[in-house]
Amino acid sequence: MSSPRVDYDSAVATGRGDDGTTALLFGGNRVTKDDLRTEAYGAVDEAVAALGLARAELAVIAADRGLSSRLARLAEIVLRIQRELFVVGAELATNPDGRGKARDDVTRVSDRMVAGIDELLREIEATIVLPQEFVVPGETRLSAGLEMGRTILRRAERRAVTLSLHDEGLADSRLLPYLNRLADLLWVLARAAEQAEAHDATVARPDRRRPGRGAAESTETKPTQRSNG
C-alpha cells in the first residue's frame, strides 16, 4: 500500500510515515516504527532532548548570575555529548547492508569517541567528591536534567544490546562501550553540577548519610554505576 502525501506544502511532513514505517540511512527496505532499530535510536533522541533541558538550565544560570569556570566547562561537555549522540543515532539508524558506507565520527561511533569519554571521566572525577551511597536525583534542576539524560541513555543502551543480539552487523561496533561509559559520565556530571552549585547529594538511605571522599581516596565502586554499568 502506498503512503499518502500531505496535501499542503510542508518542509517537514511528507506523509511517507503515515503507514507506521520509516526509512533507514543508506537505503534498503523501510522498517516499522516499533522496530528494534527505531526503538534504539528513538531512545537516543530522547536522551539528547533531556540533555537539552540541562543545557537550557545552564543558560538560565548564566543569565542570572554568570557561569563559574566549572559550570562553563559542564556546558561545553553537555553540548559535545549531544552532538556525539547524533553520531550514535545515525549508526543505529543505518541499514545493515549499508554499514560499509558509514564514516567514523559522523555516522559510526569510533574508538576516538570512546577514548574521549574515558578522558572526560578522568577529568571530572578528579574535581569532585564521590558519594559512597546511592543518591536521590533532584538536588538541582541542572543535575536532575543530567540524571534524566542518564536514565534514558541506559534505556537506549538496553535497546542497543537487544538489537546487537539480532544484528550481526553490530558485532564490531564501538557503540555499546560508548553508551555504557557515557551513562557513567552523566552520573559523574550530575554530581559535579551539584557541587558546582554548592549542593550535597541526598543519599537514598537517610540513616546512612555520611560525607563522601575525594576521587583519589575512594576504593569503592559507585553504587549507581555498579548496578547499571
In a domain, 3, yes or no: no
Q: Give the integer Cα–Cα distance in Å for 11 and 24.
A: 19
* Residue 196 identity (one-letter amino acid): A
Q: What is the pLDDT of residues 20-34, one digit of tens each?
A: 766 666 666 777 666
In a domain, 19, yes or no: no
pTM: 0.81
In a domain, 87, yes or no: yes
Give the pLDDT of residue 226. 41
Nearest-CA neighbor of 46 among 150, 176, 197?
Answer: 150
Q: What is the pLDDT of residues 39-54, one digit of tens each?
A: 998 999 999 999 999 9
Give the pLDDT of residue 126. 96
In a domain, 21, yes or no: no
The residue segments making up the domain with residue 46 are 36-228
| CATH assignment of the domain containing 85 | 1.20.1200.10
Helix H, strand E, coil C: the string for the chain is CCCCCCCCCCCCCCCCCCCCEECCECCCCCEECCCHHHHHHHHHHHHHHHHHHHHHHHHHHHHHHCCCHHHHHHHHHHHHHHHHHHHHHHHHCECHHHHHHCCECCCECCHHHHHHHHHHHHHHHCCCEECCCCEECCCCHHHHHHHHHHHHHHHHHHHHHHHHHHCHHHCCCCHHHHHHHHHHHHHHHHHHHHHHCCCCCEECCHHHCCCCEECCCCCCCCHHHHHHC
Give the pLDDT of residue 211. 44
Gap between the terminal Cα atoms of the chain: 44
Q: Give the integer Cα–Cα distance in Å for 174 and 152.
A: 19
Give the pLDDT of residue 132. 83
Q: Look up residue 150 and give its three cell numbers.
A: 542518564
In a domain, 136, yes or no: yes
Q: Look up residue 28 and give its three cell numbers.
A: 534498503
Give the pLDDT of residue 18. 67
**Number of domains within the chain:** 1
In a domain, 16, yes or no: no
In a domain, 97, yes or no: yes
- Residue 22's DSSP bridge partners are 31
Which residues in the chain land under pLDDT 70? 1-19, 21-28, 32-34, 168-169, 208-229
